[in-house]
């Protein structure tokens, strides 16, 4: 398994409503690839975001690694106040609507 290629694929996954990747927004952290498992943290600005948005991001990440024949383990967690502030600034600058 090519760890660099997996990381590049994950880095291309965009937020559904913001014109930035999940990695750029600080929402994907701690990407690790070993043997046949890829693990990462999906860090949400608010744990109460709509289920449809969260599920869209999880599905998009799963699709990104699907071609690598690897299992994806995602730990969902919340942002720190500093991470949330950075996210909100990027959100305002890059909102698609």
Average pLDDT score over residue span 64-76: 92
pLDDT band at 54 (very low <50, low <70, confident <90, very high): very high
**Structural domain boundaries in the chain:** 3-86
Fold of 3-86: GMP Synthetase; Chain A, domain 3 (3.30.300)
Q: Which pTM does this prediction carry?
A: 0.90
Average pLDDT score over residue span 56-79: 94
CB 25 within 8 A of CB 18: yes
Per residue in 6-44, pLDDT (tens digit) is 989 999 999 999 999 999 999 999 999 888 899 999 999
CA nearest neighbour of 72 among 61, 84, 88, 85: 61
């Amino acid at each position: 398994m090519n760890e660099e290629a997996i990381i590049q694929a994950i880095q291309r996954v965009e937020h559904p409503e913001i014109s930035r990747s999940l990695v750029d927004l600080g929402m994907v952290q701690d990407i690790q690839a070993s043997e046949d498992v890829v693990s990462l943290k999906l860090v949400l600005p608010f744990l109460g975001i709509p289920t449809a948005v969260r599920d869209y991001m999880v599905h998009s990440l799963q699709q990104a690694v699907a071609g690598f024949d690897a299992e994806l383990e995602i730990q969902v967690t919340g942002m720190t106040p500093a991470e949330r502030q950075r996210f909100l600034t990027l959100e305002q600058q890059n909102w698609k609507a």
